[in-house]
Amino acid sequence: MKPLTDSIEAFIKSLLEEGQAQVDVQRNELAQYFRCAPSQITYVLSTRFTPDHGYVIESRRGGGGYIRIVRLRESRGSNLLYLINKRIGDSISQRDSEAIISQLFTSDVVTENEARLMRAAVSGEAINLPVAFKDALRASVLRQMLLEIASRAEEDDS
């Protein structure tokens, strides 16, 4: 049985198709549609529509309230530099890496196969170390891969 979260995520993403950079939804309405608790919607948004995933959320309470999901448009080079220099510190979790890699794929910076390779390289099985070192090494592996991608920039900057 597929979890509700996946359906909700897919539904929201389908709303964002058609080139729309953002959508407004009503939390209660959405919850009613999926027959779940309203906080379920909040949960989906906070686990799958984070900035790392390439989205930001804004919302307003009270009468006529709404939740706005905005998809960030990729400005390739600059964002890569940000990821390399700021976002990846000297330590990063597998979860966060996952989000970053997925976003690179979504915004067409890497192919699906490349994304898979990157995920494999930073997976828990690949980096088989005591927890204390794990995230640190993952950061350094991920950074080297991003640097490699950044160095491609010259050619295929469509």
Partner DNA sequence: TACTATTGAATATCAAAGATGGTCAAACCG
Partner DNA sequence: CGGTTTGACCATCTTTGATATTCAATAGTA
Compute the least distance from the CB of residue 46 to DNA, in Å.
7
Contact pick of 21, 95, 116, 133 for DNA (by CB under 7 A) = 95
**Per CB under 7 A, does 90 bind DNA?**
no
Distances (CA, A) of 78 to 44, 67, 81, 85: 28, 28, 5, 10
Q: Which amino acid is at 138?
A: R
Question: What is the C-alpha to C-alpha distance for residues 5 and 141, in angstroms, rounded to an integer?
Answer: 31
**Per CB under 7 A, does 123 bind DNA?**
no
Q: Which does 128 bind (CB under 5 to 8 A by kind): a second copy, DNA, none?
A: a second copy
Q: Per-residue x/- marks for a second copy, 47-66, CB under 8 A?
A: ---------------xxx--
Q: Which does 154 bind (CB under 5 to 8 A by kind): a second copy, DNA, none?
A: none
Subset of residues 5 to 64 that bind DNA, contact rule: CB under 7 A: 5-6, 25-29, 35-43, 46-47, 57, 59-64
Distances (CA, A) of 26 to 49, 62, 64, 68, 123: 16, 11, 9, 9, 36
CB burial string 76-87: b at 16+ within 10 A, e below: beebbeebbeeb
Tokens of 23: 């959508």
Contact pick of 15, 36, 70, 121 for a second copy (by CB under 8 A) = 121
Tokens of 142: 């991920």
- The DSSP element (H or E) to which 132 belongs, if any, is helix 131-150
Contacts with a second copy, residue ranges (CB under 8 A): 1-3, 5-6, 62-64, 111, 113-114, 116-121, 123, 125-129, 133, 137, 140-141, 143-145, 147-149, 152
